[in-house]
Copies of this chain bind each other. A is one copy, B any other.
Amino acid sequence: MSANAQPKAIVLLSGGLDSATTLAIARDQGFACHALSVDYGQRHRAELDAARRVADSLGVTGQTVIPIGLDRIGGSALTDPAIAVPEQPGGGIPITYVPARNTVLLGLALGLAEAVSASDIFIGVNAIDYSGYPDCRPEFIARFQALAEVATKAAVEGAAVRVHTPLIDLTKADIIRRGMALGVDFALTVSCYQADREGRACGVCDSCRLRAEGFRAAAVADPTRYR
Contact = CB atoms under 8 A, between A and B. Distances in A.
Interface string A111-152: 111111000000000000000001101011001101101111
A146 B66 CA distance: 27
B153 A99 contact: yes
A103 interface: yes
A67 B73 CA distance: 11
Contact of A68 (B66, B110, B116): B66
B103 A73 contact: no
Interface extent on A, as a size class?
35 or more
Contacts of A64: 72-73
Contacts of A66: 68-70, 72-73
B100 A111 contact: yes
B134 A153 contact: yes
A166 interface: no
Nearest to A102: B151
A74 B115 contact: yes
Interface of A: 64-70, 72-75, 93, 97-104, 106-108, 110-116, 134-135, 137, 139-140, 143-144, 146-147, 149-153, 155-156
